[in-house]
Structure 1
Amino acid sequence: MNDFIEIKNARIHNLKGVDIKIPKNKLTVITGVSGSGKSSLAFDTLYEEGKRRYLMFSGTQFMIDSTPTFDSITGLSPTVAVEQRIIRQSNPRSTVGTRTKISNILAMLFAAYGTSDSSFNDGLPLSMEMFQKNSPKGMCVKCLGSGIVKKVDEGKLFGNLSLKVEDVCLGVGKRGSTKKLLDSFYKHHNISPSQELSSLSEEQLFSLKYGDGGKSSFMGFIPWIFHVTNGAFSTNSRLSYLLTEAGYMTNSSCPKCGGTGLGVHASSTTIGGKTISELDSMYIKDLFEFLGSAPLKSSPLLNEIISKLSCMVDVGLHHLSLSRPVPTLSGGEIQRLFLASYIIAEMDSIIFVFDEPTIGLHEVEKEKLISIISNLVNRGNTVIAVEHDENFMRCADYIIDLGPLAGINGGERIFQGSFKEFLDCNSSNTSPYLRDNGLLNIKQIYRTVNSDKTLKIENANIHNLHNVNVTIPLGLMVGVAGVSGSGKSSLISDTLVPKLKTLLNDKFVGSEDEESEEISEDNSAITGWEQIKKCLVIDQKPIGRSRTSCPATYTGVFDRIRTLFAKESGMPSGLFTVNSEGGCKICKGDGEVHYHVGFGNFIDTQCDACSGTGFIPQALEVTLDGKNIRDILSLTVDEAVAFFKGKDNQIDKILATLQRVGMGYITLGQKTPTISGGESQRIKLAKELSKGQSAKDSVYVLDEPTTGLSFHDSVRLMKLMEELVEKGNTVIVTEHDPYILSNCDYIIEMGPGGGSDGGELIAADSPAALKNNQNSIIGRYLK
């Protein structure tokens, strides 16, 4: 039997015909700078071929005929990818509980062992469906399982009596049958659309609001709003958005079910004195302990739940709850959620390919994860991980280093062998940092706190925060540290950021695709915000909502490129985008057709109609200096800098900024689903920096910006953040990386544990002070 997986002449993307040997039943780490070709080797070559072979022999309908991107791969067994695909986990009803199937088993447990409230007993036997809010038998009849009801602020809508009737009615009577109904209503009540509300009689105003009991065909404006916003007319979803944004309509917790989304059977049945929604809302660590001591006789259902919860605690998901929506998880959390599923399945002889499994973990948590992944190997599996973490590399049986740099300057095999041998590799951009910690420069002079320039958060109590009071010094690099679930995001993302968004209004820049936040009581307050001229939140949410979005569209470069093509050809600019007349009608401009094949993995087949370009032939006939629009989108940022030099000043500026944040290796047209959270964040940072408006007194909020970065790239990012602070700005960075935290002027540390064991401020001082602080956990890891 062959002891190695051998790849010959791999040449996809920027890989330059590399030959690779990977030992079986070992832990192999693939490293190198960002864009060096690690994912091209691990996922686009190894995983895709493993998946193709499995599907080919399994009698599936998905047969792939594609151009080979390697000469041969031998020693391959079934392959599983464990990635950070946030954008594909977008179903708002998908939760941690439904994803792991624990919610289903818990519902079965309640149906079998639940104790019904004696005051409510309709004689019906309990069934699993009664404990599922997505089931007709289990959902709340008022909110239909969502836990949320909409409320209309009538005072705000009809309070200004100087408004005209047609102004109040927004888009009600713009077109179609609704316009006819409204015209009929006006005629019946002798109302003119141009009349002011103040001129209407009491009866007319009442009928306009609530309808006239069937005397005319129009139902009344407020009932009509609910009719539209509950999805009766998809064409009016824009109206629903406008009503919510304008504050005329708000989401509130359903009064009937208390926001649980469940019906009366679920709310009146308990195990150990707790309902299923109470168990759903517990931190997984607490739920594990509760069920372990619950007054139930041992049963296969209970044992299976406890086994799954134990595994989730082990992989660092103790701070989540079963009710937590999957779209709100980070890429690292999603990956560990899938990891838990595979561990529970107890598979062997599998090739697991991981994408930076240590992302989002504190130094103390990484040790346990490395142990768990090592156990996968001990069970007879092969594990291949794309990873930048030093300790993870030190635990590896084998190292593959790609490079030497990114994009066209990468794609070569620099090294393969043991970690000890890797330390002596002089041609690598990674090994020098492992040999000499001094290359990760730690600044010698730290900025001091100016007590007159501070931002204060008082009584922060969202999620697990215990009425936290904290001072954030302005004009400094401020790090926020703590183990997973310690309260870092609750303090910054869920308390500080929403407050600043409300207070700063148009001086606040955040995600363009923000979903409505969950409903929660927040009694916190912040002071000192008047000193801030602008707040910019640079998070890891995907850039753009659609699969056809890419760095070029997000940064605004693509609009200017299309304008250049339009000028060159005399054709409309819409011809040069897949989202308009230039897009292939079969694949909707995607270039691929997608099929889900289970466990969060997809099979993608090239669209035959457009040969994978996404464009119609007419769009590809026009060229700019010999390149058509597809060729342009295939350029890396580094290549595009040279191609567009002197053609458009704004394009030059944006591309140069993308280079500065270390994104020179990505292509302009790289699809959003293939862009990691860390890459999304750096693209957002480049977009804001290229505007050139960050003169002074701005606050930048960054969430784990080193995600996906090698040592080499982290040093570049650190210089950029220092530059922002030098200009008189504040950088607030939530981070686990000891290198970044050691370079912060001030560190706020939450803890001491995660979930119910966290939510307290355990330290707030300079890195030097935290090293000597007995309460600090991160202090012992600081450089």
Structure 2
Amino acid sequence: METKIVIRGAREHNLKNINLEIPRNQLVVITGLSGSGKSSLAFDTLYAEGQRRYLESLSSYARQFLERLKKPDVDYISGLSPSIAIDQKTVPHNPRSTVATVTEIYDYLRLLYAKLGEVFCADCGRKAQKQSFAEIISQIQERASGSQVGIFAPLIRGRKGEYKKLFQDIAKKGFLYVRIDRKLHALNKPIKILKTKRHDIEALIDTVELTPRNSERIRRSVQTALDLSEETCLIDVVDQDGKSGKQELFFSKKTTCPKCGTGFKDFTPNMFSFNSPYGACSRCRGIGKLSQVMAHRVIQHPEKPLLKGAINGEIYFSFNQYVIEDLIHKLKEHFNFDLSTPYAELPPEVKEALFWGSGEITGLIEELENLFYSTSSEEIKRKVRKFIREDICPECRGNRLKKESMGVKIGAKSIVAISSLSVDQAGLFFEKLGFEGNGKIISEPILKEIRQRLFFLKNVGLGYLTLDRSVTTLAGGELQRIRLAAQIGVGLTGVLYVLDEPSIGLHPKDNEKLLHTLMELRNLKNTVLVVEHDEETMRHADYIVDLGPGAGRDGGEAVGVGNFTALKNCSRSLTGKYLSGALSISLPHKRNDYRKAKALILKGCQEHNLKNIDVKIPLGCFVCVTGVSGSGKSTLIHDILFRALHNHIWKTDYSVGKFRSISNRDAIDKIIEIDQAPIGRTPRSNPATYTDLFIWIRKLYAQTHDAKLRNFGPSRFSFNLKGGRCETCRGEGYQRLEMSFLPDVYVLCEMCRGVRYNEYTLAVKYRDKNIADVLELSVKDALTFFAAIPQIRERLELLDEIGLGYVKLGQPSTTLSG
């Protein structure tokens, strides 16, 4: 068996044809300056090739459903295992994902509650009991007396399949109809249903009026339903117009509320899932919140007509203006009103249709909600947020599940109550939880998985997180450690794990636990490759690779390899010089006097775990908020301070954490949040576009003599718009060739040769460089080139000062490290 991963001629991005031998089944740290090529080696070369080779080993049928990575630019790699990447870039944007769902703890909880939960009535709180046949008949007569009813035998609930054999068996028993997803089908005709869709199927036993003279017939039909469907029966009460669905009564000889008479179906795991229609609250669909568009902010000037200023102008900036105008013209045709009528004088039905729609007309509220959840533009989201308010769902009170599911308990706690516990609290609860008899046999394997995952989460320093915490609110480091804990729980061996700075944001108190976890992953005979700057992680590493000596085009070389001691003594390694103490970061000699500065004063902060604290934050100073993981830092700064100031300055309606007051908020005229979210999700986003540099560069090129002669405006120099871009590749610079079962091949565009623009646009030059040449400049080179243009120079100086002088202006954001 090979003991090393051998790399020869790695040239991905800025890697300079490097050769390396990395020991297998060891904890290996890849370190170096930002931009030295760490991610290019770890993720874009080793992970990509390991993943690609594994996928290529699968069948051609399986490969067509999987995303395939391109082959890295490397001559040769041997000793490579299937690879798994745990990075910080892929933060889920799905509000349904929680700590418990990502780690699969919730899957085991659902199984535990379905198998061993005690059922309590959600209406009266009494424990449900089994019901006799006589009690079922009595309840039917009491609750639907005099009504026309359909008596059904439930056969299938929420399962996929075609069920041809089932339909044949039912027909042989003499039944004429089945109801599939609430629609009746005759059994003497072919029935075709999608086998990939979940179905509810019931056999129609009888249709009868509930009167005393039909009592014997009702008893026989109910008994038949109970016999056919494992002791359950469904009564569909028909309304006065003959339509079914007025009321559905479910009865079971298994479980029923003794007071209310409510019958309960056998609980299945999907009835505890807020991602399934069988468990999710029907009002909020399992989100726990309802998005409400604030009508008073949409209509800015009610005294004006709809097309002449009544609607807030920012709505037009969020949408294409023709969407709004088209909606208004459709409303005019439908309701026949005068477009010159001021909004305040419009009939109520027109106002209601404008917001909520009418028939096939989609209203503004639905359009705004669709835009908010479908767009990837943070700018559009920020604008739309001004018109949308999120409220707790009044039906489930934010708990996301149907009330029947929340009535099932284990150890006097519902699945919602368990999910609200922190990892530490849940660990204590499940350590004490036990069952007797058959319950013990059923619960042991489930509890083992839950306890293990809770233990691993605690060991990576995440004991403070609640199980129901949405992953969209987690920092990149927290999410990465959750994935790390989940991988340890899976227990794979012989795998290459690639991690991206797992110690980031972690308090030193918890770092030892993280290192223990990494070594545990290694001890399972895995190769653990960590991109890291943390000194303590390097001290614990079996092997270190230091890339450099500089960043960008000055990096990409292996300047030091070996253990911690070898790196400290390496004369070429800048990292080694800092580790040995030969170099150090100097502290400022002069600091701003915070005692004399004006301050923001927060009082009565008590969101989450904040205990009614008062905080003073001096203005005009560099302020650091620190504390152990879970101490309330993000709650204080993000949930309270940022959101409160954002609402005050930008007139948004963020949900703000609990606090009493903020003094001196008028001293702030702008607030910007810089988080760990990636700056773009497509190759079209780059440092120049993200920092608005490209706007000024395009304006500059539009002012050149050649551009004025050709009547080119700034938009001509955008690779996202028709006119200036190469239309063959649509400004991508390359073309994708689909290879069916092989990985797609990306080739340089034959027309533009990868420069993204057409020849007419490239003919316009400023100081002998066209727009494509400028995008290839590094920040440092661009500083010299644009030294005479202050609007561009100032932004470039800032990028250079924060250590990004090596980054190219046109480098796709998807290739930038987190």
Which TM-score tier does this pair reach, normalised by the shorter chain? 0.7 to 0.9
1:578-617 to 2 correspondence within 5 Å? 578-581=719-722, 582=725, 589=732, 605-608=744-747, 610=749, 613=754, 615=756
How far does residue 123 in structure 1 lie from its aligned partner after superposition?
2.7
Cα distance change, pair 520–572 in 1 and its aligned pair in 2 (3 A): closer
> Which residue of the other structure, out of 657, 681, 684, is the alignment partner of 1:548?
684
- Root-mean-square deviation (CA), in Å? 3.9
Match of 2:169 in 1: none
* Structure 1 partner of 2:400: 261
Q: Distance in 1 between matches of 2:369 and 2:597?
A: 50
Aligned equivalent of 2:453, options 293, 297, 308: 308
1:399-427 CA-partner distances (Å, limit 9, x unpaired) = 22111111121222211122112211222
CA distance in 2, matches of 1:444, 1:652: 29
CA contact (8 A) 1:587 1:593 kept: no
Distance 1:483 1:629 in 2: 48
SS at match of 2:529: strand
1:640 equivalenced with 2:782 (yes/no): yes
**Equivalent residue for 2:329, pick from 173, 179, 186:** 179
Q: Which residue of 1 aligns with 2:664?
A: 528
Alignment partner, residue 90 of structure 2: 86
SS of 1:439's partner is coil
CA displacement at 1:92 relative to structure 2: 3.0
Distance of 1:53 and 1:585 partners within structure 2: 32
Structure with the greater alpha carbon radius of gyration: 2
* Shift in CA distance, 163/64, structure 1 to aligned 2, threshold 3 Å: closer
Q: In structure 2, what is the Cα distance between the partners aligned to 1:660 and 1:636? A: 14
Name the amino acid aligned to 1:86: T
CA distance in 1, matches of 2:109, 2:737: 33
Q: How far does the alpha carbon of each residue in 1:137-176 deviate from its partner, in whole angstroms, 9 at most, with x for none? A: 1122222222222445566677976444655466899544
For residues 655 and 38 of structure 1, what CA distance do their matches in structure 2 show? 24
Distance, in Å, in 1 between the alignment partners of 2:608 and 2:749 is: 49
Per-residue CA deviation, residues 710-766 of structure 1 (Å, 9 max, x unaligned), is xxxxxxxxxxxxxxxxxxxxxxxxxxxxxxxxxxxxxxxxxxxxxxxxxxxxxxxxx
1:386 matched to 2:531? The reply is: yes
75, 78, 89: which one aligns with 2:79 = 75
Cα pair 2:29 2:545 within 8 Å, conserved = yes
Which residue pairs with 2:10 in the alignment? 10
1:351 aligns with 2:492: no
SS at match of 1:499: helix
State the distance in 2 between where 1:262 and 1:540 align: 31
Report the Cα offset of residue 378 of structure 1: 2.2
1:379 shift after superposition: 2.3
1:560 maps to 2:696 = yes
Moved more, 586-595 or 432-441: 586-595
- TM-superposed deviation, 1:359: 0.8
Amino acid at match of 1:638: K
8 Å CA contact retained: 2:719, 2:730: no
**Deviation at 1:264?**
2.1
| Structure 2: distance between partners of 1:665 and 1:271 | 58
The Cα of 1:445 is off from its aligned counterpart by 5.8
Q: Following TM superposition, by how much is the alpha carbon of 1:626 offset from its aligned partner in structure 2, in angstroms?
A: 7.1
One of 316, 336, 340 as aligned partner of 1:194 = 340
2:162 is aligned to none
Give CA-to-partner distance per residue, 1:520-579, whole Å, 9 cap, x none. Answer: 652332113344454443332322465521211111122333445565564565454443
Shift in alpha-carbon separation, 1:284–1:627, aligned structure 2, 3 A:
farther
Partner of 1:671: 812
Alignment correspondent of 1:715: none
Quote the residue 1:363 is aligned against: 508
Task: Report the Cα offset of residue 367 of structure 1.
Answer: 1.0
Secondary structure, counterpart of 2:625 in structure 1: strand
> Could you tell me how far apart the structure 2 residues matched to 1:80 and 1:466 are?
41
Separation in 2, partners of 1:543, 1:152: 28
**Aligned partners of 1:284 and 1:65: how far apart in 2?**
35
Q: What is the one-letter code of the residue matched to 1:149?
A: L
2:79 and 2:660 map into 1 onto residues whose CA distance is: 58
* Counterpart selection for 1:338 from 465, 479, 483: 483
How many positions carry a matched residue from both structures?
646
Are 1:406 and 2:584 an aligned pair? no
Identity of aligned residues (%): 35
Instruction: Judge conservation of contact 2:423–2:454 (CA < 8 Å) in 1.
Output: yes
Local SS of the residue matching 1:388: coil
Please give the alpha-carbon distance, in whole angstroms, between the structure 1 residues aligned to 2:736 and 2:421.
40
Q: Paired residue for 2:673, among 511, 530, 537? A: 537
1:677-756 to 2 correspondence within 5 Å? 677=818
Secondary structure of 1:195 counterpart: coil
Q: TM-score, normalised by structure 2?
A: 0.70
Preserved contact between residue 597 and residue 619 of structure 2 (Cα < 8 Å): no
One-letter amino acid of the structure 2 residue matched with residue 140 of structure 1: C
Q: 2:165 aligned with 1:24, yes or no?
A: no
Q: 1:495 to 1:241 in 2, by over 3 A?
A: closer
Deviations along 1:62-99, one digit per CA (max 9) or x if unpaired, are: 79897762332222222222211135x22333332322
For residues 503-514 of structure 1, the aligned pairs below 5 Å read 503-505=648-650
Q: Which residue of 1 aligns with 2:632?
A: 487
Would you say the 8 A contact 2:372–2:380 is kept in 1?
Answer: no
**Counterpart amino acid of residue 541 in structure 1:** A
- Please say if residues 640 and 656 of structure 2, whose CA atoms lie closer than 8 Å, have aligned partners that are also in contact: no
- Whole-angstrom CA distance in 1 between matches of 2:280 and 2:368: 20
Q: 1:136 to 1:324 in 2, by over 3 A?
A: same
Q: Helix, strand or coil for the counterpart of 1:383?
A: strand
Q: Tell me what 2:35 maps to.
A: 35
Letter in 1 for 2:406: S
Q: CA deviation at 1:675?
A: 3.2
Query: 1:413 is paired with a residue of what secondary structure?
Result: strand
CA deviations 1:637-682 (Å, max 9, x no partner) are 2343345454x443333222211111112222333334344xxxxx
Q: Secondary structure at the residue paired with 1:502?
A: helix
Contact 1:565 1:622 (C-alpha < 8 Å) held by counterparts: no
- The amino acid that maps onto 1:362 is H
Shift of 1:303: 2.0
Counterparts in 2 of 1:164-175, with a 5 A limit?
164=305, 167-168=309-310, 174-175=324-325
Give the distance between the partners of 1:379 and 1:173, measured in 2 at CA.
Answer: 57
Distance, in Å, in 2 between the alignment partners of 1:619 and 1:275 is 68
Task: Supply the distance in 1 between the matched residues of 2:371 and 2:787 (Cα, whole angstroms).
Answer: 51
| 8 Å contact from structure 1 (residues 576, 619) kept in 2 | no
Which letter maps to 2:659? N
Does the C-alpha gap of structure 1 residues 257 and 127 become closer, same or farther in structure 2, counting only changes over 3 Å? same
CA offset digits 1:113-153 (Å, max 9, x no partner): 22222336333221222211221111222222222224455
Q: Is it true that 1:501 corresponds to 2:646 in the alignment? A: yes
- Structure 1 residues 409 and 210: alpha-carbon distance in aligned structure 2, compared to 1, 3 A threshold: closer
State the partner residue of 1:656: 797
Query: For 1:353, what is the secondary structure of its paired residue?
Result: strand
3-state DSSP of counterpart to 2:643: helix
Partner of 1:135: 276
Contact 2:548 2:559 survives alignment (8 Å): yes
Query: Does 2:418 match 1:279?
Result: yes
> Is 2:420–2:467's contact at 8 Å kept on the other side of the alignment?
yes
Cα distance, 1:606–1:358 mapped onto 2, change above 3 Å: farther
Distance in 1, matches of 2:323 and 2:477, equals 47
Q: SS of 2:266's equivalent?
A: coil
Give the distance between the partners of 2:680 and 2:409, measured in 1 at CA. Answer: 43
- Are residue 294 (structure 1) and residue 294 (structure 2) matched? no
**Residues 393 and 291 (structure 1 numbering): CA distance in 2 closer, same or farther, change over 3 Å?**
same
Relative distance call for 1:300 and 1:520 in structure 2 (3 A) is: farther
Q: 1:409 to 1:195 in 2, by over 3 A?
A: same
User: Per-residue CA shift, 1:21-42, capped at 9, x if unaligned?
Assistant: 2122222212111111222222
Within the candidate set 381, 387, 390, 1:251 is matched to 390
Displacement after TM superposition at 1:300 (Å): 1.8
Q: What SS class does the counterpart of residue 146 from structure 1 fall into?
A: coil
Q: Within 5 A, what are the aligned runs for 1:101-116?
A: 101-116=104-119
Using the alignment, how far apart are the partners of 2:283 and 2:294 within structure 1?
Answer: 19
